[in-house]
A and B are shown apart, each in its own frame.
Chain A
Amino acid sequence: MGNSILRTEKLCKSFSNGGVQQHVIKNLDMEIREGDFTVIMGSSGSGKSTLLYALSGMDKPSMGKVIFDGTEIQDLSNDELAVFRRGNCGFVFQSIYLLENQTVLDNVLTGALIVQKNSPELVNKAKELLKKVGLNEEVWNKYPSQLSGGEAQRVGIVRAIINDPKILFADEPTGQLNSASSRDVLDIFTDIHKNGQSIVMVTHDLKTALRGTRVLYLRDGGVVGDYRMPNFCEDDIKERRNNLTSFLEDMGW
């Protein structure tokens, strides 16, 4: 097991809805380790996405601490959080969120150039990564509206990993994709993870969760189950599915 890279202490997140406080995350203590592919699951409204945003510095917790690689990020200002995210976090969204007015290559470089200085090496790296996820040169100058959902999400992944983030966060990355595209995207995540990338992914999809090495199950604002799996391998997929299904059933999924 790798070193602890991210942990929370008594993390709370609540929202005010018409004057009524809704406590979505309650006194959560958890830890993410380097090199893990952590999957966060839970029923609808269990606080999966809320936890992901709190862990990644996209949102501020109501109380408690988020310690990311030794830095307490809960008290940082919005701009400090933005600067913090640059070097530490990569994001892949369910809605993909590419910049509509930027080409594929520019979308990737927009993420890269806020962190790194422009150089031929950086541009080559972006191109290589795009090639690696199956997006060849003819796609690089296309705009998002000219791409399929799967292609767009692959651009989103490249944009997220171009800066070699300490953790890659993904929120239902296959939520808007058909099954073929979903498989392609998950294969990419698997490959990235094999190369040592720490990933934290929120999903409610079993196929997606199978790609992880650790599954955290959330209920009522707390982690109620923590299940570990070996690295993903197509060969033992059946057994892996059965075991995970069994865990999830135990969790009341």
Chain B
Amino acid sequence: MGKILRLSLFNLRKNKKEAAAIVFLTLVSTMMLGIFAINLSKVSNAFDESFAKSGSVDTFISFSENDYRDSYREILEEDYGFEDVRRGNMINGFSTGVLHDGEKIAYNLAFITESENQKIDDGNIIESMTEEQIEALDHWVILPSFFKYNLRYEIGDEFIPVVSGRQYPFTVAGFYNTGLSNESGMLFKIIISNEDYRLLTPVFQEYVFLAFNSDDDFNYRDYFTSCMDESGDSFEGYGFTKEEEKANETKFLNLFLYMSITLSLITFVASIFMVRNKIRSDIEDQMERIGVLEALGYKGKEISLSYVFEYVISSGIGGVIGGIIALAATPFMNNIISVMLGREVVSSAKVYMVLPVVIGVIGLILIFALTKAAMVKKFPPVVAFRRGIRTHNFKRNVLPLEKTGKNINRRLGFKDSIRNIRTGAGVGLCIFLAGTTLLFCMYTFVMFFNGSDGLVKLMGMEISDDVMTINEGVDPYALSEELQEMPEVRMTRVTDTSLSFRVDGQKEGTVFSYEEFTDMEYIVPMEGRYPEHDNEVMISLRRSRTYDLEVGDTIVIDNQGVKTSYIITGIVGAMSNNQMNLYMTLDGFQRANGSAVPNCVEIYLEDGVNREEFEDKLISIYGQSVDTAMSGDNADGTLEERIQAEASEKIAVLMSTYGVTSVDYAVRVGDQLITGNSRQFVMKELQSYHDLVKSQLDPISNITRLFTGAGAIAVGVIVAVILGIIASSNVKKRRKDLGIMKSLGYSSKDLMTQIAISIMPVTVVAVILASAASIIINKVFWFQIFGADIKTSIPVLILTDLALIAFTFVMTYIGAGKIRKISVNELMTE
């Protein structure tokens, strides 16, 4: 055993660089597999631990205060049999802009008092000011943990919701662990003081919530249907369950961990093939030495074991170091998971978690090494001295040199490529696997290069700069034309509030309706055409594929039992609203919902227009919200201002309570005539979906960018190392031929070029196949995750492929640099 080990160590010392490359490949493979395997279970556990710590019920549902009926609670208690159903109140501000560090980002916010929050969870504080400090503050908020871990808020920071241009400044007094509503895509539940709750009640809409522990079968959508059936009313409610919360919070992280494991496995397979290839070429290269050792009395088994040991030692070192790094990366990964989940993650990695990966990696290399090293036994000393029968070439002469074109190096490179077709196939497979991974990572990274901008285009809904919801009685078309006249405005579009309808008894879908679908920027049919008549509809790609619906098929929309059928005219890729969207004309929408009246104007701004300044302008012209004016909180300033504020309040009450649509007033104070009208209340609400979508998509785009960027770099390095090994083995194997060619006048550059060219045919084929594979994977990935169909740009594809081919060429060329060290003299005196 000692002499076998000595032989292995001798080989390792002799081939230090190549041994280092094997160490690197196994290190990276073990590290990547280890890291992702360790953390896969952690994501789920971290959520569960955090949820348990919060003391949260597993479900809460909410209704606007006007929609709520006590009978709804009874349904839960009596029909569903749930105990301890707690009723409480909160105020919700959907798509509310929040100023923080000078940046305004929109979130869906729910404000709740401490006592009301106790009905949902324990309000488990993670970090906070002292009670004295909190008492000293005018307005404080306790934010959910997402703000601390993901959005990087700190205690003492300002948290300023902005509604209709008015700021409501709060100071962050602490963070708490919330079980439900800690997710940027849904709602953030924010604890405020009782006094601030009262102040904000006129600003936002008040909701009633019911909090309880449900069972696995509970479906709040079915429950809402039961409530509507029971009361005969129609309403829009919201539900939050632990399972949905967990799925929403963890799905992307899990997805990327699974994706990373897949990419790591692909990389590992490529590395394994490389090692296998290298063992074979090493044995072929060292045939004479094997002959000498056999002649000296070493048994074939001993020599083959020395090769096995050599690779097990290199891969063992790489595997163990990779495993250690995977363990050491735990705090870093904890941090990433914590940021992505927006929850505290404290867990230490145990050695047993990474041990199967390390053993698996080394074990696989051992198996490959044993299989390949067994070939030593086939060669008795005499055959080995002759370098085996393989060096005797009786193959047909492919690409004879007498037909050489302009470039002898190219010809010789191609000739070499065809001669070593078997090795080439292995190399091609490595490049295909690594290339697929690399291209997938690159495409995805490029898609997210500018943050969430790429994703926004796949939303399947129009993302205008501002959406103005108007009060009843206001003519949306006249307003739209008026807005269109403003120099800042590029385009306006009248639409209706989106509602969800059940379709064919299948999953409900949100309806986007427009008078006509012209100049659409985000809603673009990938198949068919836009709806033009009131009996036509476009559906989302996910709905099309899930329910096998095609253009020309008919669907039936069920609105409170009123069923209306539509013909499908087109399919749209859409990642918004459960990816089950419907698109129809306003007339078509009214067929399904007779009471619908267009009440929104989407506003698209010219390039370079400052949106906030424009919003201020809209507020100054079309006024503040009715709700804010009704609060009567405007009575400051001069007499004229106070009178105008008082008048506004009265008009707001008239409009809100009595449905008055138009008011004019005139007040004489001494000689002064103060006049006004209800025009300032045209606007009910002004929102920017752009900001909301951005705040929801940014975490997704960040994680995607992180994983695919890191993946692309890691795979790029691995490809470079693999190519380096290929080139280096090639030089070693062809040492004699290269020396001869040098003596004939071929420079090192010529020979390096030939080696790089020799892998080009397999590279080109592998890259083309990798492109096709990565396009398919991309399509599946985007559809499965985002319900969208992305089209790969052919120029981008060609450029990426060329870049990959060029990268392969350059890396192989550099890897073949060993040629420079072979002097002709060395060859002669070998």
Contacts and interface: CB of A to CB of B under 8 A. Distances in A.
Interface of A: 49, 53, 58-59, 78-79, 82-83, 85-87, 89, 91, 93, 97-103, 105-106, 109-111, 113-115, 117-118, 123, 126, 141, 143, 145-146, 159, 171
A145 B745 CA distance: 24
A78 B748 contact: yes
5 contacts: A78-B747, A82-B747, A97-B736, A110-B741, A118-B406
Interface in B187-236: none
Contact of B741 (A99, A105, A118): A99
Contacts of A82: 742, 745-748, 750
Given A118-B404, A145-B393, A99 B746 contact: no
A85 B745 contact: yes
Contacts of A123: 402
Q: Which of A101, A141, A159 lies at the interface centre, i.e. has the most chain B CB atoms within 10 A of its CB?
A: A101
B194 to A, nearest CB: 84
Nearest to A90: B744
Nearest to A80: B747
Interface string B667-693: 000000000000000000000000000
A101 B736 contact: no
Interface residues of B, number: 37
A145 B820 contact: no
Contact of B747 (A79, A101, A103, A126): A79
Pairs A-B, 8 closest by C-beta atoms = A86-B745, A113-B408, A109-B401, A79-B747, A82-B747, A59-B825, A145-B392, A118-B404
Contacts of B824: 53, 58-59
Given A101-B419, A110-B744, A79 B749 contact: yes
Contacts of A91: 743-744
B743 A97 contact: yes
B267 to A, nearest CB: 33
Interface in B401-435: 401-406, 408, 411-412, 416, 419
B737 A101 contact: yes
A118 B745 contact: no
Interface in B728-772: 736-737, 739-750
Nearest to A127: B402
Given A83-B747, A101-B393, 4 more contacts: A97-B739, A100-B391, A105-B400, A106-B400
B758 to A, nearest CB: 12
Nearest to B397: A103
Nearest to B404: A118
Given A58-B825, A106-B401, A113-B404, A85 B743 contact: yes
A152 B404 CA distance: 23
Contact of B745 (A83, A103, A109, A126): A83
B86 to A, nearest CB: 83
B486 interface: no
Contacts of A98: 740
B794 interface: no
Contacts of B820: 78
B823 interface: yes
Contacts of A97: 736, 739-740, 743, 827
A105 B828 contact: no
B394 A78 contact: no
A58 B740 CA distance: 11
Contact of B823 (A59, A93, A99, A115): A59
Contacts of B402: 105-106, 109, 118, 123, 126
B406 A103 contact: no
Contacts of B391: 100, 145
A60 to B, nearest CB: 9
Contacts of A115: 745
Q: Which of B743, B820, B823 lies at the interface centre, i.e. has the most chain A CB atoms within 10 A of its CB?
A: B743
Contacts of B403: 118
Contacts of A114: 408, 744-746, 750
A224 B548 CA distance: 97
Given A82-B748, A97-B743, A117 B737 contact: no
Nearest to A103: B397
A111 B741 CA distance: 8
Interface string B365-406: 000000000000000000000000001111001001111111
Contact of A58 (B392, B404, B743): B743
A176 to B, nearest CB: 14
Contact of B748 (A79, A103, A110): A79
A103 B400 contact: yes
Contacts of B747: 78-79, 82-83
Contacts of A93: 743, 828
Contacts of B408: 110, 113-114, 118
A172 to B, nearest CB: 11
Contacts of A117: 406
Interface string B797-830: 0000000000000000000000010011101100
A83 B746 CA distance: 7
A51 to B, nearest CB: 12
Contacts of A89: 745
A114 B749 CA distance: 12
A53 B293 CA distance: 33
Interface in B702-752: 736-737, 739-750
A109 B823 CA distance: 22
Contacts of A49: 828
A105 B401 contact: yes
Nearest to B403: A118
Nearest to B740: A97
B412 to A, nearest CB: 7
A94 to B, nearest CB: 9
Given A82-B745, A100-B737, A113 B823 contact: no
Contacts of B827: 97
Interface in B274-290: none
